[in-house]
Amino acid sequence: MSENDTKTVKALDILLVEDNATDAELCIRALKKHHLANNLVWVRDGAEVMSVFIRAGQTAEVTVPVGNYNAKIASGQHWYGNSVLFGPTTSYAKLDTILEFKKMEKSQLLGNEITLERVKDGNLRQLPLAAMDF
C-alpha cells in the first residue's frame, strides 16, 4: 500500500466471553494495542448474553446476573421469527446507557426496569443501529 492509498476501517463490535479475568485482560490489551477495542463488551460467561422477545402490549420479567449490560432493541409490526425478526421493516436501536445491576448491602439487589414504549420525559435514549450491528 502506497502513502497515498487510504484504508477505510469500520468500527467493530466485539463480544469477549471469558470467565478468567487475567485472560480477558490479556485479550483486551492485545485488542487495544491494535486499536480494535473501542466497541468491546466483556462478559464472564454466555449467560450474560441473552435475547428477550416480547410481543407488543405484553410484559416480561427477566432475572439477570449482577453485571453491566448493553441493550440493543429491534422493533416492528409483524413478527416473522428469530432469524428475520420483523422482516425488512425491522427498526434497530441501542440504548445510550449501560444498564447496571449490582448487589447492595444485606444481599439486596439494585437494577433497572426498562419500559419499551414512548414515555414522556423518559430517561433512556435510543441511538439508531444498523441491522448488521444488531
pLDDT tens per residue across span 91-126 = 888 888 888 777 766 666 666 666 666 677 777 788
Quickly tell me which residue has 421469527 as its cell.
Answer: 81
Query: Cα–Cα distance between 4 and 9 in angstroms, integer?
Result: 16
Size of the chain, expressed as the number of residues it contains: 134
Instruction: Determine the Cα–Cα distance for residues 77 and 56; give it in Å rounded to an integer.
Output: 8
Of 101, 83, 125, 121, give the one whose Cα is nearest residue 43: 101
Query: Nearest to residue 16, comparing CAs of 34, 39, 99?
Result: 39
pLDDT tens-digit profile, the chain (134 residues)? 444 444 454 555 677 888 888 888 888 888 888 877 666 777 776 555 667 777 767 777 777 767 777 888 888 888 888 788 888 988 888 888 888 777 766 666 666 666 666 677 777 788 899 888 88
Query: Residue 83 is placed in which grid cell?
Result: 432469524
